[in-house]
Structure 1
Amino acid sequence: MVKTSRFVSKVQIDTIRKSFDDVVQNSLFKIKTKVNEKEVEDMVFTNVTTTPTMSQSSKTVYFCAGWFNEKQEKAYDQAMQALKENVTVDLSNSYIPLDNQYKDIRVDLHPEYLEDKEWATATFRGDCLGVKSTDVCLAVYLPSAEDVGMGVELGMAQAYGKYILLVVPDEEYGKPINLMSWGVADNVIPMSKLKDFDFNKPKFNFYDGAVY
């Protein structure tokens, strides 16, 4: 029978201590690695800034603009291009009257339908629904070539409690505008500022021009 000592030798103690130290150091390394990974992860998610996209918060607009003469057509195209570049506008779900004519009949191409009561009534009712269902009423206002129907649209927008933004071509900004249009507008800006206007943070401001 082999006798075993109840005492542990110094060599054995050193071996056990070294093994224990190795285990502790390895555990500490793993913990430190996890902490560093978490710090990096937090840093990535908290410090990265993103540019707003259409998937983030954006507003729908009722695009109130005439297209019945050359001046109006030019301003119409300028405003539409600016809205396409504005990331705070959900243009795909906005209401564009020209794109929602009854039975897709454009009276600028088919003026005979101006005498058609069905077309007139349905188009009017559709536009009323557009004002009601969108977030913002955006009116492209030309002091030198006003659209009479715009006054009705602006009045409805105010009655529905919509934010009303008038956009004036730069070359006409500052010219006198109609008192009633001025009165219902929450803000009036030049065309050049439309692309960068933040529709998520609407602000009130006065028009830099007179009224008539």
Structure 2
Amino acid sequence: MTLINELHDIAEAAEHHEGKTIYLAGGWFNPLQEKILKDSFSSLLKNTTVAHVHVPLLHQYQGSNPIVDGEFNPDQEWATATFDDDVNAIDNADIVVALLDAKEQDTGTIWEMGYAYATHKPVVVLTVGDTFEYPINLMPVQGAIHHLENNDLETFDFYEINKRFYVGKTI
């Protein structure tokens, strides 16, 4: 089963709540990132303060799949449409939840965090991995309003986001 199919299955099984609209930014380029994405998506859909979670992988341009024969191979038309759609989705979200793999940080996720910050969207970050061994750049660290210590996305109150500083090494 592909990652996109697994995400669709998670979405179909979810209950619907009133609440905030979340843009879920995160890489999917290694097994850990895929697991973080699936687990976080599932947790957010169970959260009673979340109405909708936008996962970019579930909104592919013309229903396309940029992964061909196990390789990520997008064309320029797909890339342009994906960029425009993702920016629009961030603009329409209340909050961006960013998933960071400390060892292999996804530059697309970092860009989405910066764009959200520039457009005055709160950014909540879940970092997985040893941030003392694999430090995070100070720009995304400082731009986030709340750094989760563990994956408590299922119970996090998105109506009351308090400042929580990053714990780890920065570069």
Report the TM-score, using the length of structure 1 for normalisation.
0.67
What is aligned with 1:122? 81
Cα distance change, pair 95–192 in 1 and its aligned pair in 2 (3 A): closer
Look up the SS of the partner of 1:62 in the other structure: strand
Once residues 102 and 126 of structure 1 are traced to their aligned partners in structure 2, the CA distance between those partners, rounded to angstroms, is 8
Cα pair 1:65 1:139 within 8 Å, conserved:
yes
Structure with larger RCO (C-alpha < 8 A, sep 6+): 2
Report how far residue 207 of structure 1 moved: 1.0
Cα pair 1:54 1:88 within 8 Å, conserved:
yes
Query: Greater share of strand residues, 1 or 2?
Result: 2
Name the count of aligned residue pairs.
153
Once residues 88 and 128 of structure 1 are traced to their aligned partners in structure 2, the CA distance between those partners, rounded to angstroms, is 23
Q: How does 1:60-209 map to 2 (within 5 A)?
A: 60-91=21-52, 94-109=53-68, 111=71, 113-114=73-74, 116-169=75-128, 172=129, 174-175=131-132, 176-209=135-168
Give the aligned residue type for 2:102: P
Look up the SS of the partner of 1:98 in the other structure: helix
Query: Greater share of helix residues, 1 or 2?
Result: 1
What is aligned with 1:35? none
Report how far residue 192 of structure 1 moved: 2.7
Large movers: runs of 4+ above 4 Å: 110-113
Cα pair 1:71 1:145 within 8 Å, conserved:
no
Report how far residue 113 of structure 1 moved: 4.7
Look up the SS of the partner of 2:50 in the other structure: coil
Give the aligned residue type for 2:97: L
Per-residue Cα deviation, 1:108-129 (whole angstroms, up to 9, x for no partner) = 2465752x21111011100000
Per-residue Cα deviation, 1:139-175 (whole angstroms, up to 9, x for no partner) = 0111112111112111110111001000123xx2653
Report how far residue 130 of structure 1 moved: 0.7
Percent pairwise identity: 32
Report how far residue 60 of structure 1 moved: 0.5
Cα pair 1:173 1:190 within 8 Å, conserved:
no
Look up the SS of the partner of 1:206 in the other structure: coil
Structure 1 gaps, min length 5: 1-52
Give the aligned residue type for 2:47: N
Cα distance change, pair 174–113 in 1 and its aligned pair in 2 (3 A): closer
User: Larger Rg: 1 or 2?
Assistant: 1
